[in-house]
Amino acid sequence: MISFEMPETLSKTVVMMGSVAENMMRPVSRRYDDQEHEIPWDFISFMHEAMKAMGAGSLAPDRGVRKEGPRLGYQRLAFMIECLSWGDAGLYLCTPGGGLGAAAVEASGTPEQKERFLKRFSGDKPAFACMAMTEPQAGSDTAAIRTTAVRDGDEWVLNGEKIFVTAGHKSLVDTPGFVVVWATIDPAAGRAGMRPFVVEAGTPGCSVTKLEHKLGIRSSDTASVVLQDCRIPFDSILGSPEVETVTQKGFKKAMATFDATRPLVAASALGVARATVELLKELLDQQGIEIRYGLPRSLLTNLEREVIEMEVMLRSAWLLVLKAVWLADEHKPNTLEASMSKVKAGDVVTKITQRAVELMGPLGYSRDLLLEKWFRDAKINDIFEGTGQINRLIVARRILNYSSKELR
């Protein structure tokens, strides 16, 4: 059936998260942007309790969701993330719980591993997890990572350097969390040898060496993580320890994480986009400028035209997100839709925020308003979880039925 009826449980989620965003995030948004690297403990503790109260445990799709009834896990998450990012995209990334790290465990861990690694998120104290793929010499080209994992008896020994790890400091230093480290178990095998490993906070040989200073999402820490003869238990590998060069099964399964997380990053982008459109409309309204929907473009003022175009971009991108997470909840393949939603949301949020700053002139450029902050926050969505170009590649390979060799 084709339906756009919002399930009631989701409406409730939106109301609740909307109120968190408005009352707990917006008032401190500017402060944590100004004070880069100050940890928003008030927000973190509040969110930890709030998520526990919601029975969610963490921002993860399969926990805290009613067992009976339709599966709404990813849809619910998309709505939550959109709302929180409407509040503040950087602070959203400081929401305790699993983040991308837990998503990886969720997607390819065994039941025992899930129990072992994910339990902490519903404990007394907040905890974080993160995901480390990127290295200084390898970002988009993930197959070029050099971090190695070598088996030594019933342990793996990890060596390498990871950069740009979102929430790396919170996961490894500030809370008893973990990092999911991507490493190769067979450098000669290329992609087929890549596996995610869980490294828990406090593991000797794993250290945070740097915190980046960024254009936006400044309240979210972006860390370098160095692994130096870092020993972890053998069963901390996610997926099979065998190298299947032909099927690349282990690699592909792990990559499935991204089908789940890309629409969620897109949802976050669109929270920022919605915040921007709403504020822009409010500011125009205060000036007595009304948007006359329904007119042909030739009769619209430029401001009206811009706002209407923004609304079209925002809504159509959101519907792509919704379809992608709906597919995930239905256990249907969504690689194409996930990447489409990410491409579109990355474009939309950058365009909308860039134009809003321009349209508001000196006010838009001023730090009195949050528009300039959202402009800075927005851009990351075209970069992480696969750049706009990489997601276009994924879409293109799917529709053309090309391998990564045929379309590089």
Ligand X SMILES: Cc1cc2nc3c(=O)[nH]c(=O)nc-3n(C[C@H](O)[C@H](O)[C@H](O)COP(=O)(O)OP(=O)(O)OC[C@H]3O[C@@H](n4cnc5c(N)ncnc54)[C@H](O)[C@@H]3O)c2cc1C
Per CB under 6 A, residues contacting ligand X are 100, 130-134, 139-141, 164-166, 214, 222, 380, 383-384, 387, 389-390, 393, 408
Q: List Cβ neighbours of 140 (8 Å cut-off, separation of 6 or more).
A: 386, 387, 389, 390
CA distance 129 to 114: 13
Contact of 122 with 151, CB cutoff 8 Å: no
Q: Which of 319, 358, 366, 404 binds another protein (CB under 8 A)?
A: 319
Identify the residue whose tokens are 């490993």: 197
CA distance 91 to 268: 11
Subset of residues 369 to 408 that bind another protein, contact rule: CB under 8 A: 389, 392-393, 395-397, 399-400, 402, 406-408
Question: Residues binding another protein: what is the number (CB under 8 A)?
Answer: 45
Residue range at the interface with another protein (CB under 8 A); choices 103-111, 161-169, 178-186, 291-299 = 291-299
Q: Catalytic residue at 385? A: yes
Structure tokens at 190: 């290329």
State the minimum distance, in angstroms, from the CB of residue 59 to ligand X.
14
The reply on whether position 2 binds another protein by CB under 8 A is yes
CA distance 87 to 136: 32
State the catalytic residue, choosing from 115, 212, 385, 406.
385
For another protein, the closer CB: 283 or 336: 336
For another protein, the closer CB: 167 or 264: 264
CA distance 356 to 177: 38
The option from another protein, ligand X, none interacting with 130 (CB < 5 to 8 A, set by class) reads ligand X
The reply on whether position 312 binds another protein by CB under 8 A is yes
Q: Which of 74, 145, 143 has the alpha carbon at shortest distance from 106?
A: 74
For another protein, the closer CB: 213 or 297: 297
Task: Give the β-pairing of 155-166 and 148-152.
Answer: antiparallel
For another protein, the closer CB: 206 or 345: 345
Subset of residues 329 to 358 that bind another protein, contact rule: CB under 8 A: 337, 340, 343-344
For another protein, the closer CB: 91 or 340: 340
Identify the residue whose tokens are 């178990």: 185
Query: How far apart, in Å, are the Cα atoms of 228 and each of 34, 209, 231, 252?
Result: 34, 12, 9, 27
CA distance 408 to 356: 35
Identify the residue whose tokens are 């973190």: 44
Nearest residue relative to ligand X (C-beta): 139
For another protein, the closer CB: 75 or 113: 75
State the minimum distance, in angstroms, from the CB of residue 340 to another protein.
5
The reply on whether position 323 binds another protein by CB under 8 A is yes
Would you state the torsion angle of the CA atoms of residues 75, 274, 376, 221, taken in this order, to the nearest 10 degrees? -30
Q: Which of 155, 161, 235, 309 binds another protein (CB under 8 A)?
A: 309
CA distance 131 to 171: 10
What residues pair up with 231 in beta bridges, in sequence order?
157
Residues acting as catalytic residues? 385
List residues binding another protein (CB under 8 A).
1-7, 70, 75, 293-299, 308-309, 311-312, 315-317, 319-320, 322-323, 326-327, 337, 340, 343-344, 389, 392-393, 395-397, 399-400, 402, 406-408
